[in-house]
Chains A and B, each alone.
Chain A
């Protein structure tokens, strides 16, 4: 078995990269989970939702630093937009207060709308950027907005037959 490609660019040149990992479903079925990397929250600006942009060392060989930082910065911007205190949020708040907050049962708040945008963005990033590199981002809302969980997958080998065991250290080394 040939050794695994070390850089992300080498990986994209391989034929199996586009065939096996292009589809997110195939990523889950044909690859086994090797590791999970957690991006923690950045509290330097208070309690607003913001994630650290520090590049984790475990992803060094898997993805370019700029792509990763772009993803995290875009997510941070989305959360800042959701939590922004300005004219629209005041209007929403005052209207809600007048209706004894019953309006929250009827309409979708701005925060919920932005959360939907975020999950669409993460889905798109997974399909275009992360799945071809054998990575998968979990939406932070599923982890209580505490962490961005990035699952690192190792392919089980170019033969395509699954071995049944979940150990990954022997594959592709």
Chain B
């Protein structure tokens, strides 16, 4: 039953609460947009992909660093054990070159690993809105459905070196991917000359850091094989004096650990180096090799790699010694001031929503009071 005496007072209170802006819990939206244009932001802060940045945009890593810490730890630990336990013995009994060679290989491995992990692999920046609109205009969409329905995959064909290559449209980046470019779902970027996303290194391997990656795996194969050889020699020399292998192992347990680690890694790393040497000589990427783009697996006998120079030396030189392309994402550049204005309309909508919530709550209170 409606209580005539109480209702008008509540209505008056409610009306006062509805129009009083001070009842709003959120701070007024005006000051933040005014502060924003004063601080110029760098482009890495507004980067749409899933990468993370350090040192004010100088260093780029994938969102998940994968097993990069494990890779580093394994390499540093095994090499450390080698330098501390094997080198003194071998320098005394063989030659002083051993730690020097080991040192050079170790430096090569660590530096090339860090460069592979922290270099931009060849990320393509996403299309600007005008570019995306221009591409949309050029593509026929006969069904004319709304944007919520994804149209059939868009492709464009281009003839490269008498070979038909299909360029696919990337819905995330809103561009037609250049040849040999692929979208990495882990990093959410299109990467040029995409090879693969390497969890050991914690980054994609693409056009810009492929040579670092190749240097890393080749020098790591040499380092692993070298440490394996030195540890074996060490144990062999120790057990030669009539002491036996068990005594030698007890005297230098670190060598045993190195042997185990190197034994299991040398097969996979040397195998990987061999595989990538083949890819470099044929000017292929891992992505193309796995998909069988140029090997005729799809049934078409006429295919051949259109990017190959048909000469092993020229392929190797172009992949490993070619010019170093620049980074296209300009991480440390400043965002143009137009972007900061766009966020204003979004913030103004919030008070209206809050008003509705208060009103709903008040109506509910009123309804409950009427019922009670």
Give the B interface residue count (CB, 8 A): 42
Chain A residues whose CB sits within 8 angstroms of the CB of B306 once the complex forms: 46
Q: Given A44-B159, A146-B175, is A100 in contact with B112 using a C-beta cutoff of 8 Å?
A: yes
Interface residues on A, range: 35 or more
Which of A47, A89, A90, A101 is in CB contact (< 8 Å) with B180? Answer: A47
In the complex, whether A67 has a CB less than 8 A from a CB of chain B is: no
When C-beta atoms are compared, the residue in chain B nearest to A94 turns out to be B321
Contact check, A89 vs B193: say whether CB atoms are below 8 A apart.
no
Chain B residues whose CB sits within 8 angstroms of the CB of A149 once the complex forms: 130-131
Number of A-B residue pairs with CB-CB distance less than 8 Å in the complex they form = 100
Closest-CB distance, A139 to chain B (whole angstroms):
11
Closest-CB distance, B128 to chain A (whole angstroms):
7
Contact check, B124 vs A144: say whether CB atoms are below 8 A apart.
yes
Contact check, B128 vs A143: say whether CB atoms are below 8 A apart.
yes
In the complex, whether B33 has a CB less than 8 A from a CB of chain A is: no
In the complex, whether B115 has a CB less than 8 A from a CB of chain A is: yes
The docked-state distance in angstroms from the alpha carbon of A104 to that of B209 is: 12
* Most chain B CB inside 10 Å of its own CB: which residue of A43, A90, A110, A142: A43
Contact check, B323 vs A43: say whether CB atoms are below 8 A apart.
no
Contact check, B321 vs A89: say whether CB atoms are below 8 A apart.
yes
In the complex, whether B153 has a CB less than 8 A from a CB of chain A is: no
Contact check, A93 vs B317: say whether CB atoms are below 8 A apart.
yes
Q: Given A83-B323, A112-B326, is A100 in contact with B108 using a C-beta cutoff of 8 Å?
A: yes
The docked-state distance in angstroms from the alpha carbon of A115 to that of B326 is: 9
In the complex, whether B161 has a CB less than 8 A from a CB of chain A is: yes
Closest-CB distance, B58 to chain A (whole angstroms):
11
Contact check, A97 vs B128: say whether CB atoms are below 8 A apart.
no
Contact check, B160 vs A92: say whether CB atoms are below 8 A apart.
no
Interface residues of A in 26-47 (CB under 8 A from B): 36, 38, 41, 43-47
Interface residues of A (CB under 8 A from B): 36, 38, 41, 43-47, 82-85, 89-90, 92-94, 96-97, 100-102, 104, 109-112, 115, 141-147, 149
The 7 closest A-B pairs by CB, nearest first: A93-B321, A144-B125, A100-B111, A144-B328, A43-B158, A111-B323, A36-B130
Contacts A47-B179, A97-B211 known; list 14 others, CB within 8 Å.
Answer: A41-B178, A44-B160, A46-B161, A90-B317, A90-B321, A101-B115, A101-B211, A101-B212, A111-B325, A111-B326, A141-B328, A144-B329, A146-B131, A147-B131
